[in-house]
Amino acid sequence: EGMTISELAKRTGRSIPFLEEILVNVGEEVGSEFDPVSIDVVELIAMEVGVNVKRLHSNEGAELLPRPPVVTVMGHVDHGKTSLLDALCQTSVAAKESGGITQHLGAFVVDMPSGASITFLDTPGHAALSAMRARGAAVTDIVVLVVAADDGVMPQTLEAMAHAKAANVPVVVAVNKCDKPAADPERVRIQLGSEGLLLEDMGGDVQVVEVSAVTKAGLDKLEEALLLQAELMDLKARIDGPAQAYVVEARLDRGRGPMATAIVKAGTLMCGQYVVVGAEWGKIRTIRDMLGKVKDKALPSMPFEFEGLRGLPMAGDDITVVNSEERARMLSEGRGKKLEKNRLEKIGEGRIETPNESENVPERVELPIIVKADVQGTVQAVTDALKSLNSPQVFVNIVHVGVGVISQSDVDLAQACGACIVGFNIRSPPSSVTQSANRASIQIKVHRVIYHLLEDLGNFIVDKAPGTL
Ligand code: GDP
């Protein structure tokens, strides 16, 4: 709900004339200080004065209806996440209708014989969940934790458990590769138990299902376990009123322009509505379900694809419905400015705000860096070399190091801390990762010669903080 100018003044600690001036600037009519201002304008003003606002979606009095669970698959690399998603997708409505050929749009729906359905997020689980969590918008209701029966609990298994716990999302364990002779599901159970997961057969409430993505054994049991978990959670959503929705995947279609796959968390999204998505805006032109059928609206938990945005959003962006094109444009502009400001602040650490001072007393510019390299030894060598860039003016802050290619999860982290990513002696990241880095204005620098790397970063520093090298 909106509030009055007088209330707004109290909340932000700014004078009424000051707020009225902003209102005039954004083309709002200014009446009495007790006139209500709409929620969009409140958000805009809050951005101008640097206050954080959160839209509260009140469910009070609204009718709540059951909704399907939204499920994300996570687990250690090579334990079978992709294979399991593929196998589950083969049981989806889309696969049945298309004779098994399905497009990967970021989500699919499995219909159960009972009439219930399950929505699976078909995105690399890790990136999706951490991106969602970073924006405080866990769209995921349940995590399927995949553990290979022949390999057992591994580092990323534990990481996935930690993510799920932090996001307060319950876990259902899928012990995969049970077709293999070396499979030892019992060992997996014991390992998980000793990591603190309270498994069902040990008196806890975490279900464990033995499956094989290859033979497809146990998939029906896994789906049933997910529905049971969903029932326990009594998932419900408001249907009426403006939608609160999240992007799970976005792509650029040559003919149609930006397309996004999204899921409504509450309310109903309708064709023709103006929306602000992250820092992009648009008018919902077409809504299609995951079978490609055109719909006039999208309901909670059912993934859909839509057209009509001006630019490409990012996975995890929230979708906000606004009243008019003008509002949409205004809000997205405000958010864009805010994002840019945050980014510059993270890199420049206050330099932007005090240009005069910094001329005389240059502040030390922090340069957050994520380092990825082929082997541990190289990581160390690169880290040491980067530290040689430290000076009274520049502080190289290595926020994360790792072995292997640059992944979406590195980009997420870089975005969270305003870092640039340095890769050494590794392949360039996949184009999807590069694109998402570009969208978030994150620099990725891949080199094979230390000298070139240092030279490149030197130039980068001069760009970011002129006069410091
Ligand atoms: P991800 O990295 O977790 O996505 O793992 P993938 O789905 O790419 O699987 C890694 C490897 O394990 C591939 O070679 C798969 O064919 C194999 N694999 C996955 N699931 C099974 C399974 O249930 N049984 C067997 N025998 N192999 C599997």
- Give 221's pLDDT tier (boundaries 50, 70, 90): very high
* Atom 2 in ligand 1: residue holding the nearest Cα: 78
* Least confident span in 26-40, 159-173, 261-275, 368-382: 26-40
Is residue 465 within 8 Å of 351, Cβ to Cβ? yes
Mutation probe of ligand 1 site: the residue of 83, 126, 176 with most atoms within 8 A of C-beta: 83
* Atom 17 in ligand 1: residue holding the nearest Cα: 80
Q: Is 24 exposed, middle or buried (0-12, 13-18, 19+ CB in 10 A)?
A: exposed
Is residue 429 within 8 Å of 423, Cβ to Cβ? yes
Share of the chain above pLDDT 70, in %: 85
CA of 181 to the centre of ligand 1 (A): 15
Beta bridge partners of residue 276, listed in sequence order:
281, 320
More confident residue, 386 or 444: 444
Which ligand 1 atom is nearest residue 77's CA? 2
pLDDT confidence of residue 359? 44
CA of 176 to the centre of ligand 1 (A): 8
CA of 257 to the centre of ligand 1 (A): 34
Which ligand 1 atom is nearest residue 176's CA? 23
* Atom 19 in ligand 1: residue holding the nearest Cα: 80
Q: Which residues line ligand 1 (CB under 6 A)?
A: 75, 77-83, 176-177, 179-180, 212-214
* Atom 10 in ligand 1: residue holding the nearest Cα: 78
* Least confident span in 134-148, 163-177, 349-363: 349-363
The top-scoring range by mean pLDDT among 91-100, 133-142, 173-182 is: 173-182
Instruction: Show the tokens assigned to 461.
Output: 């520093």
CA separation for the pair 219, 210 (Å, rounded): 9
Residue 115: CB atoms within 10 Å: 6
Give 407-456 pLDDT, tens digit per residue: 998 898 888 878 999 999 898 899 999 999 999 899 999 998 877 888 88
pLDDT confidence of residue 167? 77
- Give 44's pLDDT tier (boundaries 50, 70, 90): confident
* Atom 6 in ligand 1: residue holding the nearest Cα: 80
H/E stretch holding 412 reads: helix 408-417
CA of 83 to the centre of ligand 1 (A): 5
| pLDDT value at 347 more than 80 | no
| pLDDT value at 286 more than 50 | yes
Mutation probe of ligand 1 site: the residue of 78, 145, 146 with most atoms within 8 A of C-beta: 78
CA of 151 to the centre of ligand 1 (A): 12
* Least confident span in 60-64, 219-223, 455-459: 60-64
* Atom 22 in ligand 1: residue holding the nearest Cα: 177
Q: What is the mean pLDDT of residues 308-322?
A: 86
Tell me the pLDDT of the chain averaged across its residues.
83
Which ligand 1 atom is nearest residue 83's CA? 7
Give 242-262 pLDDT, tens digit per residue: 888 998 888 888 788 889 999
CA of 149 to the centre of ligand 1 (A): 11
CA of 148 to the centre of ligand 1 (A): 8
Instruction: Show the tokens assigned to 120.
Output: 């699976």
| pLDDT value at 230 more than 60 | yes
Give 191-217 pLDDT, tens digit per residue: 999 999 999 988 899 999 999 999 999
More confident residue, 273 or 401: 273
First vs last C-alpha separation in the chain: 51
CA of 81 to the centre of ligand 1 (A): 7
Which ligand 1 atom is nearest residue 180's CA? 26
Give 108-138 pLDDT, tens digit per residue: 999 988 889 999 988 654 455 555 554 444 6
| pLDDT value at 346 more than 70 | no
* Atom 16 in ligand 1: residue holding the nearest Cα: 83
Which ligand 1 atom is nearest residue 212's CA? 23
pLDDT confidence of residue 51? 65
CA separation for the pair 228, 233 (Å, rounded): 9
Give 50-88 pLDDT, tens digit per residue: 666 666 556 666 778 999 999 989 888 899 998 999 999
Phi, psi of 14 (to 5 degrees): -110, 160
Q: What is the mean pLDDT of residues 381-402?
A: 83
CA of 82 to the centre of ligand 1 (A): 7
- Give 393's pLDDT tier (boundaries 50, 70, 90): confident
At 114, the amino acid letter reads S
CA of 218 to the centre of ligand 1 (A): 15
Compute the C-alpha angle 174/213/205, nearest 5°.
Answer: 10
Burial 444-459 (b: 16+ CB within 10 A, else e): bebbeebeebbeebee
pLDDT confidence of residue 242? 85
CA of 84 to the centre of ligand 1 (A): 8
CA of 212 to the centre of ligand 1 (A): 9
Which ligand 1 atom is nearest residue 86's CA? 7
Share of the chain above pLDDT 90, in %: 37
| pLDDT value at 358 more than 50 | no
